[in-house]
Amino acid sequence: MEFDPTRPKWQQIADVVRHRIATGAYPPHHLVSEVQLEGEFGVTRTTVRKATAALREEGLIVTTPGMGSFVRESNERQGDD
C-alpha cells in the first residue's frame, strides 16, 4: 500500500481494516492481528495500535488482554440496540 502523505498512517490503516470488516473480508470474531498489520503495512506497532484504538472506539473491534483484537458481531457494535 502506498500511503497518502497528507494523512496519518494509522488513519489509513484503520480505513483499510474498516473496509475489510464492512465487506466481510474480516468476518465477526476474526482476529485483527497487530503483528500481521505491522508486517503488511511496514509500520511500527505504535502506529497499528493507534489504528486499532480508533476501531475499538467506533465499536468495530473488541480487545481482550492477552488474546488480541477481534471483529465484533454487528449486533454487539456500539449504537446498535
Instruction: Tell me the domain boundaries of the chain.
Output: 9-76
What is the SS3 string spanning 19-38? HHHHHCCCCCCCEECHHHHH
Which H or E run includes 14? Answer: helix 9-23
Q: Residue 80: what pLDDT?
A: 47
Mean local confidence (pLDDT), 62-74: 94
- All three cell numbers of 41, joined, read 503495512
Task: Tell me the CATH class for 9-76.
Answer: mainly alpha
Q: pLDDT band for 81, please (50, 70, 90 cuts).
A: very low
Query: For 14-60, how does the pLDDT look when each residue is reduced to its tens digit (9 = 90+)?
Result: 999 999 999 999 999 999 999 999 999 999 999 999 999 999 999 99
| Segment 58-75 mean pLDDT | 93
Helix 9-23 and helix 34-41, axial crossing angle in degrees, nearest 10: 120
The pTM of the full predicted model, rounded to 2 decimals, is: 0.89
Q: Could you give phi then psi for residue 62, rounded to 5 degrees?
A: -130, 140
